[in-house]
Amino acid sequence: MPHVPGLRSCYAKVGRFVYFGRMLDKIRLHAAGRLPAEYHANLGDSQTYVLDGRCCRFLGIRHADLRERTLAGGTDEEILAWVHAHGTPRTDEECHMWNRFIVKLGWRDERSAVLPQRIKDAGLTGKPIETLVDHIEFDEGRDPVATKAWESV
The DSSP line for 7-43 is ---TT-EETTEESHHHHHHHHHHHHTT-S-GGGGGG-
Percent of the chain at pLDDT exceeding 70: 99
The average pLDDT across 75-95 equals 97
CA distance 7 to 140: 9
Q: In 38-48, which positions are buried (b, 16+ CB within 10 angstroms) versus exposed (e)? A: eeeeebbbeee
Residue 83 C-alpha from the chain's centroid: 16
Mean pLDDT of 50-63: 96
Nearest-10 crossing angle of helices 132-139, 92-104 = 70
pLDDT band (50, 70, 90) for residue 1: low
27-36, 50-59, 139-148: segment of lowest average pLDDT? 139-148
Which amino acid makes up residue 62? R
Query: Which residues make Cβ contacts (< 8 Å) with residue 16, sequence separation at least 6?
Result: 90, 92, 95, 96, 99
Question: What pLDDT does 111 receive?
Answer: 86
DSSP 94: H
